[in-house]
Amino acid sequence: MHFKIPDRSSNLGIEIEKINLSRALPQSELTNIRNYWVKYGVAIFPNQDLSLQEYENFSQQFGSFGEEPFLIPMKEHPHIVKLHRKPDEEAAYFGGAWHSDWSFQSAPPSATMLYSKIIPPTGGDTLFANTADAYDDLTSETKEKIKNLRCLHSAKLPYAKDGVYATENKKRTMKIHTSDEANKTMSHPLVRIHKETGRKTLFINPVYTIKIKGFTKEDSDSLLFELFIHMAQEKYLYRHKWEPNMLIMWDNRTVMHMAEGGYDGHERLLHRITIAGDQTE
C-alpha cells in the first residue's frame, strides 16, 4: 500500500494506492486502512476494477450494512443504491446540500462508500467539510454554550410526502421513496464525541437538523445558521474530483458532504453502500 495526501491545504482525504480491493484483505492491512480513514475522514482508492459482489465484500470488512430508508436499492444487490443520472435528466442533483448521511437515525451510519463507474468529463465533484476541525476552532465561549445542547434531526425536508423529492415535477432516474415516516424526529447531541478518536465534532447539518431542543425557533435557527456558516469555511473543505473505477469511503461522524452538479448532458453512475454505526451517546 502507498498513502498520499491529495490536498495538503485540507486535513481531509487520504489516497490509498497499490492495493487490490477485490480480494479479502489481511487484518494488518484493514487496521492500517481504518486508522488512516478515521484520521483523515475520507479514504480514496483509485483504479479499482470491482464487480458489485466484490464491492460488497470489501465493504463488509468495515462493518454490517446500514439501512437505506428512503432510497430504493438494486433488486439483485439489496444493499447497494444506484446513484444514476442520465444525460437528458432535468431533476435536481441528488445530495446537493450539506448533510451527514441519515443523521436522523438512532445509530447513523459510520461510513458511506461510493464506487464510480461512469464519470462525466466536467462537474460532479463531491465536497467534504471537517466537522472536528470546525469544532476545535470555536471560541471557548461558544464551546461552553453548546456543550450540553441536543438537536432534533428529521428526514422531512427531503423525504416527507410534502418534501422536496415528493413535490419535484421532473422525472428522476434514481429511485427514491417518500413517506410519512420521514416526519419522525431523533435527538442527538450537538457536540458528538467520536468513539474511535475521542475528538469532539459538530454533529449537525442543514438538511436533517431541524431544531435545537429547548430553544425557540428563532434562537435555534440563528445559532444553527451561525454554526453552519462556520463549518463550511474553505479551510475545512476537501474537494474530491472523481475518476471511473474509484472507490471512496467517508466517516459520517467527522465529516459532512454535498454533491455538486455541473454535468448536464452527461451520464453519471456511482454505487452507494452505507455501513452501520453506533448510538451517539
Average pLDDT over residues 166-192: 95
The pTM assigned to this predicted structure is 0.96
Q: What is the pLDDT of residues 191-231, one digit of tens each?
A: 999 999 999 999 999 999 999 999 999 999 999 999 999 99
Average pLDDT over residues 264-277: 97
3-class SS at 113?
A: strand
pLDDT score for 268: 97
pLDDT score for 232: 97
Q: What is the pLDDT of residues 3-20, one digit of tens each?
A: 988 877 778 999 999 999
Helices (H), the chain: 27-40, 52-59, 131-136, 140-146, 156-159, 164-167, 217-231
Q: What is the pLDDT of residues 22-66, one digit of tens each?
A: 999 999 999 999 999 999 999 999 999 999 999 999 999 999 999
Average pLDDT, the chain: 96
Task: Sketch out the chain's domains with CATH numbers.
Answer: 2-275 (3.60.130.10)
Q: What is the pLDDT of residues 78-116, one digit of tens each?
A: 999 999 999 999 999 999 999 999 999 999 999 999 999
pLDDT score for 66: 97
Contact 21, 43 (CB under 8 A): no
pLDDT score for 180: 96
pLDDT score for 190: 98
Contact 80, 65 (CB under 8 A): no
